[in-house]
Homo-oligomer: A and B are copies of this chain.
């Protein structure tokens, strides 16, 4: 097996930027960047001291791998426009299957970093799980090797599992963040600072290192404390959407007891 030494990055968003930097820091050779918006390619290329390609046809065919870190909707278009290359073609999406690649592409793969990336905020990549997939066993070995260079958790899973993981991540990250948003608003309305909740939020997460979320569940709903639940529902009278969410989740939490 030849390990992957050189990469072309396709895309210039948060995932592309964070992964490209992690690869470069790990000693890999970034041959250049292509993005649908040339200006964005240039910004990332400048950061990495690499080339920016103006057209997709300018992409060199000599890279060991091509990282397609673009939105799910752009992915099909990019795959169809890609010049024929020998290297591994890998996308980074949690919700798109391996089948986005036509069967003529032999070295197709997925390299999915399970993390939320924020512009300008650096990440310790060693703790980011990398979920890999390929039908080609040599390619899978190459991805494992590539993943090991930037992360201590590299795991091979299939498209169905990855989609399930992505769905679970929506609940665990996007929806929990929306719960913080509601809390933020409820406090703002009463001149209270969101910082007051941070130790509680941290401890709620910290608990998961010793017990399961089900065991960790606290609050009025799990205690069947109807008096508090009804008071809370009354307090949310001016916000029917928050009230609806409160009712629905409380009803579910109550069922955990039985």
Binding site for B on A (CB under 8 A): 71-73, 95, 114-116, 118, 121, 123, 127-129, 131, 153, 155, 157, 160-161, 163-165, 167-184, 186-187, 189-192, 194, 196-205, 207-214, 216-223, 225, 227-228, 231-232, 235-236, 241, 244-246, 248-249, 252-253, 256
User: In angstroms, how far is the closest chain B Cβ from the Cβ of A98?
Assistant: 15
Inter-chain contact B174/A218, CB cutoff 8 Å: yes
Main secondary structure of the interface of A (DSSP, over half): helix
Q: Which residues of B contact A201 (CB under 8 A)?
A: 172-173, 176, 205, 208
Bound CA span A131–B193, Å = 13
Pick 14 A–B contacts, CB within 8 A, sort by A.
A114-B200, A164-B189, A164-B235, A167-B232, A167-B235, A170-B232, A171-B179, A172-B183, A174-B253, A177-B204, A177-B217, A180-B208, A180-B216, A202-B205
Bound CA span A163–B189, Å = 13
**With A178-B252, A190-B160 in contact, is A121–B207 under 8 Å at CB?**
yes
Inter-chain contact A216/B249, CB cutoff 8 Å: no
Q: Which residues of B contact A167 (CB under 8 A)?
A: 186, 232, 235-236
**With A157-B192, A187-B168, A231-B163 in contact, is A197–B245 under 8 Å at CB?**
no
User: In angstroms, how far is the closest chain B Cβ from the Cβ of A200?
Assistant: 5
**With A179-B179, A181-B213, A217-B177 in contact, is A196–B252 under 8 Å at CB?**
no
Which of A115, A123, A219, A248 has the most chain B CB within a 10 Å cutoff? A219
Inter-chain contact B249/A175, CB cutoff 8 Å: yes
- A216 closest partner in B (C-beta): B177
- A151 closest partner in B (C-beta): B199
Q: Which residues of B contact A210 (CB under 8 A)?
A: 118, 121
Q: Which residues of B contact A205 (CB under 8 A)?
A: 201-202, 205
